[in-house]
Amino acid sequence: MSASSEKKIVLAAICIYIIVFGVFTGLRHYNFQTQAWDMGIFDQTFWNTAHGRFMENSFETAKNHLGIHMSPFLVLLAPGYALFPSPYFLLIIQTIALALGAWPLYLLAKKVLSGFDKKWPVIITLSYLFYPALHWINTFDFHELPFLIPLLLTSFYFIETKKWLWTTIFLALSASVKEDAILVVMFMGIYIFIKSGKNKSIKETQNIENKKFLGIKKFGALTAIFSLIYFIAATKIIMPSLGGGLLSINRYSQLGGSVAEIAKNLFTNPWLFIKTIFAAQKMGYVFWLLVPAGFMTLFSGPVLLTLVPPLAENLLSSWNSQVSGLYHYDALLIAGIFAGLVYGLKFFLNHWPKKQKIAIVALLVAGAASFLIRSPISPFLFPTELFRPNAHWDAYREIIKKIPANASVAAQTNLVPHLSKRQNIYVLGTEPSQADILIIDGADLTGFTDEKTFQTYADSYMDSGLYNFTAIENRYFILNKKDIELLQ
């Protein structure tokens, strides 16, 4: 296969991915499959930013999103959103970013595996684009973490090619994605430090190359140190100053009541951590992360270090969504898994060169089987109902047309992303005071413990005497303040 043919295949695969997931995610949003958390949060945050209220939203416990998650990277997307203010912009830019992660992975595989079968770079790239966890990340609304994947894969490539200025830029961008991404970058620094010392003899480190060798080790060490400093500053100074901080510590409450207690228990009660990590569901989670890469990541040596922070974050958590493989939490792992696939294959093929054809078949079979069993666009899992007429969704669309842009609104979670271009929008039952307009789907009790609680909540609006009442098909109800008219 010629280099030109390889590139055409890779670029074609990237374009096909963008088209498929651009349409798929757009259709999900159009048919009310996105949610307040997190599509509504991000759409309102970008809309507020475009209107002078920097990174504000009305959902989170801190008014400014940067108090909840240290994600200055989002600022880079704000100009694009200002030009195309729509959830569809966020969904397509996320899809493009994930698809483009295939390109630095292809370049990395081409460089590292140059002495082996010429098909490997294309096979690895296709394995990435067919990776089920990538598909679920792309499918579940919009988040900042997916952008880490192409940034880290590009960092791996520049580390391999020893282009340190570009490495610095992409590692800095990676650290700007979110506070837990900072820890991944810190371990990237440790990875660089260790990698720079591989295969260096005493004689080599005494000649003119010694300065370069020590310079790379210094680069790795400084990356780790500055990342740690940034993480501490972000979580202890910047985020608290914006009204937030590390708010998900409750997901680790079984390990201790505070960060200090968890750290203490790590040494005094290690069995607690072992028991938490090696639960059956979590081992199944790790299995499905590694199967599509043929478990080759396990042979990648120092690259495995970059998986330590996100694996610890997910495996130690009591929040089942983090180990379901269906959400954005896996985004911290994917770059390391596929860079690990590249380096793991190099190790495997160097030690067992006669097994190359078997390895090709095994990786193709593992990738295809994983796609069919786990991907949301697999023929066995694809939600075909998205293409069928649905009276429920049609009713929602008619309701949305009636809501004026300047009114505060409380609505069901899957309506919120379609009404989030306003200063105040809430999920039913979370509004600090009664909203201007209340939209209720009487058949959806999401957020309420039972029908009685739901009815009591609705009655609090009805009994105030401040609202007009509109019923649609005896299922959908709109309550609007008497001084605010619905649109016709």
Instruction: Convert the pLDDT of each residue in 249-287 to its tens digit.
Output: 889 989 998 888 999 999 999 999 999 999 999 999 999
Partners of 467 in the beta sheet?
481
Looking at residue 408, its pLDDT comes to: 98
What is the pLDDT, as a whole number, of residue 202?
47
d(CA 155, CA 173): 10
- Output the pLDDT for position 198: 57
pLDDT tens digits, 152-208:
999 999 999 999 999 999 999 999 999 999 999 999 999 999 987 655 554 554 555
Residue position matching structure tokens 């309420």? 448
Predicted confidence at residue 209, as pLDDT, reads 60
H helix or E strand, kind and range, residue 470:
strand 467-472
Consecutive H or E run containing 437: strand 437-441
Are 329 and 321 in contact by the 8 Å Cβ rule? The answer is yes
Check residue 135 and give its pLDDT.
99
What pTM, to 2 d.p., does this model score?
0.95
Residue ranges of the chain with per-residue pLDDT less than 50: 202, 205
Over residues 375-409, the pLDDT tens digits come to 999 999 999 999 899 999 999 999 999 999 999 99
H or E, element range at 480? strand 476-481
Closest CA to 400 of 332, 346, 472, 469: 472
Q: Residues of the chain with pLDDT > 90: what percent?
A: 90
